Structures are given as structure tokens and as C-alpha cells.
């Protein structure tokens, strides 16, 4: 075919009505003959190998092939009347009167291969997107069973730890009850109660080092300068954010929040224990 639009049927040596099997057989035969590995350094065989692969990809894709046939037929039909006009003009023109006229179908022939290639790339991209969406759907479907099995495994581990340390749990559960019973039987004197009041306050504000990962469960978790003190310039975190807790004092955690998006953004201060929950280590 004239111009830049290639005749893929002619390259593979098959008729316009060739089936997919006929195209595949012709492709294999030509590829064995013109494969560049058998003719290393020969640019002729390399170019023909590229042409054969290009023709095979276009003709084996039904959508791209139909688009190619349509463009091919339009370009061929447009070139026929133009060729006749150019022939008559050439016969009437004497040598040296001027350059031959530009054919009307030149732009069509130049754009046709670009259109076919773009259409082919679009179809491949659409198929890749569909495949990715299918994999994501399968992954989401498989997440629920994994979550359930993980929860069951954690429950089994907790039960096993509880059974293995049954005597330790009994001691821990028995210790508070004995103190309560003793306090109810032998109440403290008024002076003794007054003397112990400051000790309780010191324990509530005593800062104990910890290393925990917390998650905000309140709609807004505010940071304080000190346990029960003023709010730090109205700074807070919304529900779902994670914090690294370093200390605890009474009903407050001293936490540090570091933004994963902006490393320079950092908040630290005291938060209420009721606004957060401890994540599993």
C-alpha cells in the first residue's frame, strides 16, 4: 500500500479473510525464517522481524483488526480518485512547469498507523485495569477469612496463657479482694486517712515510663501541657490516628504523634486514657 500505512495481510502472506489459526501458522513460519537470533547483525532480518511481530499483534486482536481494516479501506478508497487526477495532471504538465500536486490521502496515510497503535494501546491498558480490579476484589474477599482466623488464633493463645499461668492469675485476683476485706473490717482512723491522702495524690501524678502504641478512639483527643493541665494551643488528633506513648501519670498518657506525610509535623503532650486505646504489641 502507498504511504506509511502498512499492509499487514501482505506482510504475513495471508488473505483478508484469514482466520486466527491461519494467521498464527503464517506468523510462526515467518518468524522462524526471519528471526534475528539466526541472523545476528543483519539489519534486514531485524526489520522484517519487527514488521512480522507488529502485523501479528494487530491482526490477532479482533478489535484492533477491525479498526485497522476500516482505516485501511478508507485510505485505499481515498487514494484511488486522487491517483487518477494526479495521473491526468502529470500527462498535461510539461517538464519544468512545477512540482507535482500533493495527494489528498497523504494525511490519512500518515495518521492511520498512529491511530491503530493508539487504539491497540488503549485496549491493552483497559485489559490491565480490569485485571487489577479483579485481583483487588479477590484480595478483599480473602481478607475477612484471614481476619477471623487471626482472631481465633489470638483467642487460643490467650486461653493457653491463662491456663498455663492459672496460679498467677489466682494470686492477682485474690490480692485486691483481701485488701478490700481488711479495709472493710478494720477501717482506718481519721488521722491515718488524712496522712495517706497526699500519698494517693502523688501516686496519681507519678510519671511511670512505658512504651505503648495507642490509637485515638474519641472524635477529638486533645493534648495537655501536664496531666489535668491546660490544652496545648487547642491541639488534638481525630479518631483513628496512632500515637507512641512514653509515660503514664494517673489517667493520662504522655504521647508523641509524628506525621507520616509531613515529617516536620509533630505533636507531643498528655492525653486522657479514655480518649485512646492500647494497640496489640
Q: What are phi and psi of 258, to 5 degrees?
A: -120, 120
**Which CATH code fits 8-133?**
1.10.287.110
CA dist., res. 84 & res. 276, Å (int): 85
- pLDDT tens sequence across 233-259: 778 989 999 999 999 998 999 999 988
* pLDDT value of residue 99: 42
- pLDDT tens sequence across 8-21: 999 999 999 999 99
- pLDDT tens sequence across 39-52: 667 788 889 999 99
Q: Which residue has the cell 484480595?
A: 139
Q: Which residue has the cell 505503648?
A: 212
Residue 200 clears pLDDT 80, i.e. is over it: no
Residues of the chain with CATH 2.30.30.40: 205-281
* pLDDT value of residue 83: 52
Q: pTM for the full model?
A: 0.32
**Which CATH code fits 205-281?**
2.30.30.40
Please compute the mean of the pLDDT values over residues 14-40 and round it to a whole number. Answer: 89
Residues of the chain with CATH 1.10.287.110: 8-133
* pLDDT value of residue 205: 72
Q: Could you tell me how many residues make up the chain? A: 281
CA dist., res. 121 & res. 54, Å (int): 13
* pLDDT value of residue 190: 45
Rama region for 280: left / alpha / beta (φ>0; ψ in -120 to 50; rest): beta
Amino acid at each position: 500500500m502507498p504511504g506509511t500505512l502498512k499492509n499487514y495481510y501482505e506482510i504475513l502472506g495471508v488473505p483478508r479473510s484469514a482466520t486466527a489459526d491461519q494467521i498464527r501458522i503464517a506468523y510462526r513460519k515467518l518468524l522462524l525464517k526471519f528471526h534475528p537470533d539466526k541472523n545476528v547483525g543483519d539489519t534486514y532480518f531485524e526489520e522484517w522481524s519487527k514488521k512480522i511481530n507488529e502485523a501479528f499483534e494487530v491482526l490477532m486482536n479482533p478489535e484492533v483488526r477491525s479498526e485497522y481494516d476500516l482505516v485501511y479501506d478508507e485510505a485505499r478508497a481515498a487514494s484511488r480518485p486522487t491517483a487518477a487526477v494526479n495521473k491526468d495532471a502529470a500527462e498535461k504538465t510539461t517538464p519544468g512547469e512545477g512540482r507535482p500536486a500533493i495527494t489528498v490521502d497523504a494525511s490519512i496515510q500518515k495518521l492511520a498507523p498512529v491511530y491503530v497503535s493508539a487504539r491497540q494501546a488503549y485496549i491493552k491498558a483497559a485489559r490491565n485495569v480490569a485485571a487489577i480490579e479483579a485481583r483487588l476484589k479477590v484480595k478483599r474477599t480473602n481478607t475477612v477469612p484471614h481476619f477471623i482466623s487471626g482472631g481465633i488464633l489470638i483467642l487460643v493463645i490467650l486461653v493457653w496463657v491463662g491456663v498455663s499461668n492459672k496460679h498467677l492469675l489466682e494470686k492477682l485476683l485474690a490480692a485486691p479482694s483481701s485488701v478490700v476485706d481488711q479495709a472493710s473490717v478494720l477501717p482506718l482512723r481519721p488521722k491515718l486517712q488524712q496522712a495517706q491522702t497526699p500519698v494517693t495524690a502523688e501516686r496519681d501524678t507519678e510519671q511511670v515510663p512505658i512504651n505503648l502504641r495507642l490509637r485515638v478512639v474519641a472524635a477529638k483527643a486533645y493534648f495537655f501541657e501536664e496531666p489535668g493541665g491546660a490544652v496545648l494551643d487547642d491541639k488534638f488528633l481525630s479518631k483513628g490516628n496512632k500515637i507512641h506513648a512514653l509515660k503514664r501519670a494517673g489517667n493520662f498518657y504522655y504521647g508523641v504523634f509524628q506525621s507520616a506525610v509531613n515529617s516536620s509535623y509533630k505533636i507531643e503532650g498528655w492525653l486522657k486514657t479514655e480518649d485512646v486505646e492500647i494497640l496489640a504489641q
